[in-house]
Structure 1
Protein backbone atom coordinates (compact mmCIF):
# COMPACT_ATOMS: atom_id res chain seq x y z
CA UNK A 1 0.00 0.00 0.00
CA UNK A 2 1.05 3.55 -0.65
CA UNK A 3 0.34 6.37 1.81
CA UNK A 4 1.18 10.05 1.69
CA UNK A 5 2.95 10.67 5.01
CA UNK A 6 4.65 13.58 6.72
CA UNK A 7 8.39 13.93 6.28
CA UNK A 8 11.02 16.64 6.32
CA UNK A 9 10.19 17.72 2.76
CA UNK A 10 6.45 17.00 2.76
CA UNK A 11 5.41 20.65 3.09
CA UNK A 12 3.25 19.86 6.12
CA UNK A 13 4.86 22.55 8.28
CA UNK A 14 4.02 25.20 5.67
CA UNK A 15 0.41 24.06 5.81
CA UNK A 16 0.41 24.16 9.62
CA UNK A 17 1.78 27.71 9.63
CA UNK A 18 -0.74 28.86 7.01
CA UNK A 19 -3.84 27.54 8.82
CA UNK A 20 -4.39 28.54 12.46
CA UNK A 21 -7.01 25.76 12.76
CA UNK A 22 -4.44 23.10 11.82
CA UNK A 23 -4.31 20.58 14.67
CA UNK A 24 -2.07 17.65 15.39
CA UNK A 25 -1.64 15.73 12.12
CA UNK A 26 -2.54 12.29 13.50
CA UNK A 27 -3.41 11.30 9.94
CA UNK A 28 0.09 12.02 8.59
CA UNK A 29 1.67 8.80 9.88
CA UNK A 30 0.40 5.24 10.34
CA UNK A 31 -0.13 4.23 13.97
CA UNK A 32 0.43 0.76 15.43
CA UNK A 33 -3.20 -0.23 15.88
CA UNK A 34 -4.12 0.84 12.36
CA UNK A 35 -1.12 -1.05 10.97
CA UNK A 36 -2.17 -4.22 12.83
CA UNK A 37 -5.79 -3.86 11.77
CA UNK A 38 -4.87 -3.23 8.12
CA UNK A 39 -2.54 -6.25 8.16
CA UNK A 40 -5.30 -8.40 9.66
CA UNK A 41 -7.85 -7.31 7.06
CA UNK A 42 -5.38 -8.09 4.26
CA UNK A 43 -4.40 -11.44 5.83
CA UNK A 44 -8.04 -12.40 6.54
CA UNK A 45 -10.05 -10.93 3.64
CA UNK A 46 -13.09 -12.95 4.69
CA UNK A 47 -13.48 -10.47 7.57
CA UNK A 48 -14.49 -7.73 5.10
CA UNK A 49 -15.28 -9.46 1.79
CA UNK A 50 -18.55 -8.24 0.32
CA UNK A 51 -19.35 -6.10 3.38
CA UNK A 52 -19.86 -2.37 3.84
CA UNK A 53 -17.35 -1.30 6.51
CA UNK A 54 -16.77 1.85 8.55
CA UNK A 55 -13.23 2.98 9.40
CA UNK A 56 -13.94 5.14 12.48
CA UNK A 57 -11.33 7.81 13.26
CA UNK A 58 -9.79 6.87 9.93
CA UNK A 59 -6.81 9.24 9.92
CA UNK A 60 -4.96 8.46 6.69
CA UNK A 61 -7.57 5.93 5.58
CA UNK A 62 -5.10 3.04 5.88
CA UNK A 63 -7.66 0.58 7.28
CA UNK A 64 -10.44 1.54 4.84
CA UNK A 65 -8.01 1.18 1.93
CA UNK A 66 -6.90 -2.25 3.20
CA UNK A 67 -10.57 -3.26 3.45
CA UNK A 68 -11.20 -2.28 -0.17
CA UNK A 69 -8.06 -4.09 -1.33
CA UNK A 70 -9.28 -7.16 0.59
CA UNK A 71 -12.66 -7.17 -1.15
CA UNK A 72 -15.02 -5.04 0.93
CA UNK A 73 -18.12 -3.99 -0.99
CA UNK A 74 -17.69 -0.43 0.25
CA UNK A 75 -15.55 1.42 2.79
CA UNK A 76 -16.64 4.54 4.61
CA UNK A 77 -13.78 6.40 6.32
CA UNK A 78 -14.84 8.99 8.90
CA UNK A 79 -12.66 11.46 10.78
CA UNK A 80 -13.17 14.76 12.62
CA UNK A 81 -10.19 16.45 10.94
CA UNK A 82 -10.76 18.00 7.50
CA UNK A 83 -7.10 17.40 6.60
CA UNK A 84 -7.54 13.71 7.39
CA UNK A 85 -10.52 13.57 5.03
CA UNK A 86 -8.37 15.13 2.29
CA UNK A 87 -5.55 12.66 3.03
CA UNK A 88 -7.99 9.73 2.80
CA UNK A 89 -8.96 10.80 -0.72
CA UNK A 90 -5.33 11.15 -1.80
CA UNK A 91 -4.32 7.83 -0.26
CA UNK A 92 -7.29 5.95 -1.73
CA UNK A 93 -6.45 7.31 -5.19
CA UNK A 94 -2.79 6.31 -4.74
CA UNK A 95 -3.97 2.74 -4.14
CA UNK A 96 -6.55 2.65 -6.93
CA UNK A 97 -9.56 2.17 -4.66
CA UNK A 98 -12.68 4.16 -3.91
CA UNK A 99 -13.30 5.12 -0.28
CA UNK A 100 -16.12 7.37 0.87
CA UNK A 101 -14.43 9.94 3.14
CA UNK A 102 -16.61 11.96 5.51
CA UNK A 103 -15.91 14.74 8.00
CA UNK A 104 -18.05 13.88 11.04
CA UNK A 105 -18.17 12.78 14.66
CA UNK A 106 -20.36 9.68 14.67
CA UNK A 107 -19.88 8.88 18.35
CA UNK A 108 -23.05 10.64 19.51
CA UNK A 109 -25.36 9.16 16.91
CA UNK A 110 -27.11 5.95 16.07
CA UNK A 111 -25.22 2.98 14.65
CA UNK A 112 -24.50 3.43 10.94
CA UNK A 113 -25.76 1.14 8.18
CA UNK A 114 -22.61 -0.98 7.98
CA UNK A 115 -21.81 -4.62 8.69
CA UNK A 116 -18.46 -3.97 10.39
CA UNK A 117 -16.83 -1.10 12.29
CA UNK A 118 -13.03 -0.99 12.17
CA UNK A 119 -11.31 1.09 14.87
CA UNK A 120 -7.57 1.72 15.03
CA UNK A 121 -5.83 3.61 17.83
CA UNK A 122 -8.73 5.44 19.46
CA UNK A 123 -8.07 4.39 23.06
CA UNK A 124 -5.21 6.77 23.89
CA UNK A 125 -7.34 9.21 25.96
CA UNK A 126 -9.81 8.37 28.76
CA UNK A 127 -12.60 10.70 27.62
CA UNK A 128 -12.28 9.66 23.99
CA UNK A 129 -12.15 5.97 24.94
CA UNK A 130 -15.39 6.33 26.92
CA UNK A 131 -17.17 7.99 23.96
CA UNK A 132 -15.83 5.42 21.48
CA UNK A 133 -16.83 2.46 23.65
CA UNK A 134 -20.37 3.81 24.15
CA UNK A 135 -20.74 4.20 20.38
CA UNK A 136 -19.33 0.72 19.74
CA UNK A 137 -21.73 -0.75 22.31
CA UNK A 138 -24.64 0.79 20.39
CA UNK A 139 -23.23 -0.70 17.19
CA UNK A 140 -22.93 -4.16 18.75
CA UNK A 141 -26.49 -3.91 20.13
CA UNK A 142 -27.66 -3.20 16.56
CA UNK A 143 -25.86 -6.30 15.26
CA UNK A 144 -22.82 -4.54 13.80
CA UNK A 145 -19.51 -6.40 14.25
CA UNK A 146 -16.54 -4.48 15.67
CA UNK A 147 -12.80 -5.05 15.20
CA UNK A 148 -10.28 -2.89 17.08
CA UNK A 149 -6.56 -2.57 16.38
CA UNK A 150 -4.46 -1.27 19.26
CA UNK A 151 -0.94 -1.61 20.72
CA UNK A 152 -2.35 -2.10 24.24
CA UNK A 153 -2.82 1.58 25.06
CA UNK A 154 -3.77 2.59 28.60
CA UNK A 155 -7.50 3.13 28.04
CA UNK A 156 -8.16 0.04 25.92
CA UNK A 157 -11.11 -1.81 27.53
CA UNK A 158 -9.33 -5.20 27.58
CA UNK A 159 -11.98 -6.84 29.77
CA UNK A 160 -14.50 -6.30 26.94
CA UNK A 161 -12.27 -7.62 24.16
CA UNK A 162 -11.18 -10.95 22.69
CA UNK A 163 -7.79 -11.07 20.94
CA UNK A 164 -8.20 -12.16 17.31
CA UNK A 165 -4.59 -11.73 16.14
CA UNK A 166 -1.23 -10.32 17.26
CA UNK A 167 1.23 -8.38 15.08
CA UNK A 168 4.61 -6.73 15.75
CA UNK A 169 4.37 -3.15 14.48
CA UNK A 170 6.30 0.10 14.52
CA UNK A 171 4.07 2.58 16.33
CA UNK A 172 3.93 6.34 15.81
CA UNK A 173 6.86 7.99 17.56
CA UNK A 174 8.88 4.81 18.06
CA UNK A 175 12.57 4.91 17.06
CA UNK A 176 13.32 3.53 13.59
CA UNK A 177 13.48 -0.24 13.55
CA UNK A 178 11.71 -0.68 16.89
CA UNK A 179 8.56 -2.79 16.99
CA UNK A 180 6.02 -3.42 19.70
CA UNK A 181 3.14 -5.85 20.02
CA UNK A 182 -0.24 -4.75 18.74
CA UNK A 183 -3.39 -6.79 18.59
CA UNK A 184 -6.64 -6.98 16.71
CA UNK A 185 -9.58 -7.45 19.04
CA UNK A 186 -13.24 -8.31 18.65
CA UNK A 187 -15.58 -6.38 20.95
CA UNK A 188 -17.62 -8.84 22.97
Structure 2
Protein backbone atom coordinates (compact mmCIF):
# COMPACT_ATOMS: atom_id res chain seq x y z
CA UNK A 1 0.00 0.00 0.00
CA UNK A 2 1.30 3.46 -0.88
CA UNK A 3 1.69 6.38 1.51
CA UNK A 4 -1.23 8.09 -0.26
CA UNK A 5 -3.47 5.06 0.31
CA UNK A 6 -2.48 4.86 3.98
CA UNK A 7 -3.28 8.53 4.46
CA UNK A 8 -6.67 8.05 2.80
CA UNK A 9 -7.39 5.05 5.01
CA UNK A 10 -6.50 7.01 8.15
CA UNK A 11 -8.70 9.95 7.17
CA UNK A 12 -11.59 7.59 6.42
CA UNK A 13 -11.39 5.80 9.78
CA UNK A 14 -10.58 8.61 12.21
CA UNK A 15 -11.77 12.08 13.12
CA UNK A 16 -9.96 15.16 14.50
CA UNK A 17 -10.11 15.20 18.28
CA UNK A 18 -8.25 16.98 21.08
CA UNK A 19 -6.55 14.66 23.60
CA UNK A 20 -8.11 15.06 27.05
CA UNK A 21 -4.92 16.23 28.78
CA UNK A 22 -3.59 18.24 25.83
CA UNK A 23 -6.55 20.19 24.44
CA UNK A 24 -4.27 22.61 22.58
CA UNK A 25 -3.48 19.88 20.06
CA UNK A 26 -5.60 17.89 17.60
CA UNK A 27 -5.09 14.29 16.51
CA UNK A 28 -6.83 12.06 14.01
CA UNK A 29 -8.36 9.60 16.47
CA UNK A 30 -10.40 6.41 16.14
CA UNK A 31 -13.47 5.88 18.29
CA UNK A 32 -12.85 2.15 18.78
CA UNK A 33 -9.75 0.00 18.45
CA UNK A 34 -11.20 -3.35 17.31
CA UNK A 35 -13.14 -2.16 14.22
CA UNK A 36 -10.12 -0.14 13.07
CA UNK A 37 -7.82 -3.11 13.60
CA UNK A 38 -10.17 -5.31 11.58
CA UNK A 39 -10.48 -2.68 8.85
CA UNK A 40 -6.69 -2.46 8.58
CA UNK A 41 -6.39 -6.23 8.23
CA UNK A 42 -9.17 -6.30 5.64
CA UNK A 43 -7.57 -3.50 3.64
CA UNK A 44 -4.22 -5.29 3.58
CA UNK A 45 -5.71 -8.79 3.34
CA UNK A 46 -3.37 -9.72 6.18
CA UNK A 47 -3.64 -11.14 9.67
CA UNK A 48 -1.62 -10.67 12.86
CA UNK A 49 -1.02 -6.99 12.25
CA UNK A 50 0.08 -4.87 15.22
CA UNK A 51 -2.69 -2.95 17.00
CA UNK A 52 -3.27 0.55 15.58
CA UNK A 53 -1.49 2.34 18.42
CA UNK A 54 -1.18 5.37 16.13
CA UNK A 55 -4.95 6.02 16.30
CA UNK A 56 -5.17 6.89 20.00
CA UNK A 57 -3.52 9.33 22.47
CA UNK A 58 -2.21 6.92 25.13
CA UNK A 59 -1.92 7.99 28.77
CA UNK A 60 1.88 7.94 28.99
CA UNK A 61 2.25 9.98 25.83
CA UNK A 62 -0.32 12.52 26.96
CA UNK A 63 1.60 13.04 30.19
CA UNK A 64 4.88 13.69 28.37
CA UNK A 65 3.19 16.02 25.88
CA UNK A 66 1.55 17.96 28.71
CA UNK A 67 4.85 18.21 30.60
CA UNK A 68 6.75 19.45 27.55
CA UNK A 69 4.14 22.11 26.77
CA UNK A 70 4.12 23.26 30.40
CA UNK A 71 7.94 23.24 30.59
CA UNK A 72 9.13 24.27 27.12
CA UNK A 73 12.63 24.93 28.42
CA UNK A 74 13.14 21.15 28.39
CA UNK A 75 13.15 21.09 24.59
CA UNK A 76 13.48 24.68 23.41
CA UNK A 77 16.25 24.89 20.81
CA UNK A 78 17.01 21.16 21.18
CA UNK A 79 17.09 18.32 18.66
CA UNK A 80 14.33 16.00 19.85
CA UNK A 81 13.49 12.37 19.11
CA UNK A 82 10.01 10.98 19.82
CA UNK A 83 10.57 7.22 20.17
CA UNK A 84 7.78 4.75 19.30
CA UNK A 85 5.86 7.85 18.37
CA UNK A 86 2.47 6.35 17.51
CA UNK A 87 0.26 9.30 16.56
CA UNK A 88 3.15 11.76 16.89
CA UNK A 89 1.52 13.48 19.88
CA UNK A 90 4.77 13.96 21.80
CA UNK A 91 6.67 15.07 18.71
CA UNK A 92 4.01 17.66 17.93
CA UNK A 93 4.11 18.96 21.51
CA UNK A 94 7.90 19.28 21.32
CA UNK A 95 7.66 21.22 18.07
CA UNK A 96 5.03 23.52 19.59
CA UNK A 97 7.30 24.04 22.61
CA UNK A 98 10.12 25.35 20.43
CA UNK A 99 12.39 22.40 19.65
CA UNK A 100 14.90 23.19 16.93
CA UNK A 101 14.16 19.93 15.10
CA UNK A 102 11.87 17.02 15.84
CA UNK A 103 12.15 13.45 14.57
CA UNK A 104 9.47 10.82 15.25
CA UNK A 105 10.51 7.19 14.79
CA UNK A 106 8.20 4.22 14.34
CA UNK A 107 8.28 0.71 12.88
CA UNK A 108 4.65 0.88 11.67
CA UNK A 109 4.09 2.41 8.22
CA UNK A 110 0.57 3.48 9.21
CA UNK A 111 2.00 5.36 12.19
CA UNK A 112 4.42 7.17 9.88
CA UNK A 113 1.49 8.28 7.72
CA UNK A 114 -0.53 9.31 10.79
CA UNK A 115 2.38 11.35 12.17
CA UNK A 116 2.62 13.30 8.93
CA UNK A 117 -1.12 13.99 8.86
CA UNK A 118 -1.22 15.01 12.53
CA UNK A 119 1.82 17.27 12.21
CA UNK A 120 0.20 19.12 9.32
CA UNK A 121 -3.07 19.30 11.22
CA UNK A 122 -1.23 21.13 14.03
CA UNK A 123 0.89 23.31 11.76
CA UNK A 124 4.30 21.98 12.82
CA UNK A 125 7.25 20.31 11.13
CA UNK A 126 8.05 16.76 12.23
CA UNK A 127 10.32 14.35 10.37
CA UNK A 128 8.78 10.87 10.53
CA UNK A 129 11.19 7.95 10.06
CA UNK A 130 10.25 4.28 9.75
CA UNK A 131 13.15 2.55 11.48
CA UNK A 132 14.03 0.47 14.52
CA UNK A 133 16.58 2.66 16.30
CA UNK A 134 16.84 0.66 19.53
CA UNK A 135 20.49 -0.06 20.29
CA UNK A 136 21.78 2.66 18.00
CA UNK A 137 23.67 5.77 19.16
CA UNK A 138 21.90 9.07 18.54
CA UNK A 139 24.70 11.48 17.84
CA UNK A 140 22.43 14.15 16.34
CA UNK A 141 19.82 14.16 19.15
CA UNK A 142 19.77 16.07 22.46
CA UNK A 143 16.48 14.94 24.03
CA UNK A 144 14.59 11.65 23.72
CA UNK A 145 10.90 11.61 24.64
CA UNK A 146 9.11 8.31 25.20
CA UNK A 147 5.53 7.41 26.09
CA UNK A 148 4.18 4.12 27.37
CA UNK A 149 6.67 1.42 26.31
CA UNK A 150 6.72 -0.85 29.38
CA UNK A 151 3.64 -2.96 28.68
CA UNK A 152 5.54 -6.02 27.39
CA UNK A 153 8.57 -7.54 29.15
CA UNK A 154 10.91 -8.14 26.17
CA UNK A 155 10.28 -4.70 24.73
CA UNK A 156 10.61 -2.95 28.09
CA UNK A 157 13.93 -4.63 28.86
CA UNK A 158 15.38 -3.94 25.42
CA UNK A 159 14.24 -0.32 25.29
CA UNK A 160 15.22 0.56 28.85
CA UNK A 161 18.76 -0.79 28.40
CA UNK A 162 19.11 1.42 25.33
CA UNK A 163 17.64 4.50 27.02
CA UNK A 164 20.02 4.10 29.96
CA UNK A 165 22.94 3.90 27.55
CA UNK A 166 21.78 7.09 25.83
CA UNK A 167 21.50 8.82 29.21
CA UNK A 168 25.08 7.73 29.85
CA UNK A 169 26.03 9.47 26.60
CA UNK A 170 24.62 12.71 27.97
CA UNK A 171 21.21 12.77 26.34
CA UNK A 172 18.15 13.88 28.31
CA UNK A 173 15.63 11.03 28.41
CA UNK A 174 12.05 11.65 29.55
CA UNK A 175 9.51 8.84 29.68
CA UNK A 176 5.81 8.79 30.51
CA UNK A 177 4.30 5.72 32.15
CA UNK A 178 0.82 5.12 33.60
CA UNK A 179 1.82 2.23 35.85
CA UNK A 180 2.60 -0.49 33.31
CA UNK A 181 3.69 -3.87 34.63
CA UNK A 182 7.27 -3.83 33.38
CA UNK A 183 8.32 -0.35 34.43
CA UNK A 184 11.76 -0.67 36.12
CA UNK A 185 11.92 -0.20 39.87
CA UNK A 186 15.07 1.92 39.89
CA UNK A 187 17.08 4.33 37.77
CA UNK A 188 14.11 6.65 37.27
CA UNK A 189 13.58 10.12 38.73
CA UNK A 190 9.95 11.31 38.94
CA UNK A 191 9.36 14.79 37.52
CA UNK A 192 5.56 15.11 37.56
CA UNK A 193 2.35 13.11 37.83
CA UNK A 194 -0.74 13.75 35.70
CA UNK A 195 -4.21 12.24 36.03
CA UNK A 196 -5.14 11.37 32.46
CA UNK A 197 -8.77 10.68 31.51
CA UNK A 198 -8.92 7.42 29.56
CA UNK A 199 -11.52 5.32 27.80
CA UNK A 200 -12.53 1.79 28.72
CA UNK A 201 -11.93 0.97 25.07
CA UNK A 202 -8.20 1.27 25.80
CA UNK A 203 -7.78 0.87 29.55
CA UNK A 204 -9.41 -0.92 32.48
CA UNK A 205 -10.35 2.35 34.18
CA UNK A 206 -11.52 5.86 33.37
CA UNK A 207 -8.37 7.60 34.64
CA UNK A 208 -4.68 6.74 34.72
CA UNK A 209 -2.12 8.47 36.93
CA UNK A 210 0.82 8.87 34.56
CA UNK A 211 4.26 9.78 35.82
CA UNK A 212 6.86 11.58 33.73
CA UNK A 213 10.25 10.10 34.60
CA UNK A 214 13.80 11.14 33.81
CA UNK A 215 15.77 8.05 32.89
CA UNK A 216 19.22 7.85 34.47
CA UNK A 217 22.30 6.06 33.16
- Output aligned runs, 1:96-175, within 5 Å: 96-171=123-198, 173-174=202-203
Contact 1:30 1:171 in 2 (8 A): no
- SS of the counterpart of 2:186? helix
Distance 1:124 1:112, change over 3 A: farther
Q: CA RMSD in A?
A: 1.7
Report the alpha carbon displacement of residue 148 of structure 1 after superposing the two structures with TM.
Answer: 0.4
Q: How does 1:31-70 map to 2 (within 5 A)?
A: 31-70=58-97
For 1:75 and 1:36, locate their aligned partners in 2 and report how far apart those are by CA, in whole Å.
18
Aligned to 1:181: 209
Corresponding residue SS for 1:106: coil
Normalization by structure 2: what TM-score? 0.80
1:7 is aligned to 2:38: no
How far the C-alpha of 1:138 sits from its partner, in A, is 1.9
Counterparts of 2:102 and 2:159 in 1: how far apart (Å)?
Answer: 19
Answer with 108-117 or 39-48: which moved more.
108-117
- Tell me the residue number matched to 1:17: 42
Structure 2: give runs of 5+ residues left out of the alignment.
Answer: 1-24
Whose RCO is larger (CA < 8 A, sep 6+)?
A: 1
TM-score by length of 1: 0.92
1: distance between equivalents of 2:86 and 2:208?
A: 21
> SS in structure 2 opposite 1:159?
coil
User: Structure 1 stretches of 5 or more lacking a match?
Assistant: none
Are residues 76 and 168 of structure 1, via their aligned partners in 2, closer, same or farther at CA, if it must alter by over 3 Å? same
Equivalent residues of 1:53, 1:72 under 8 A apart: yes
C-alpha deviation, 1:110, in angstroms: 2.0
**Pick aligned residue for 1:82 from 94, 109, 122:** 109
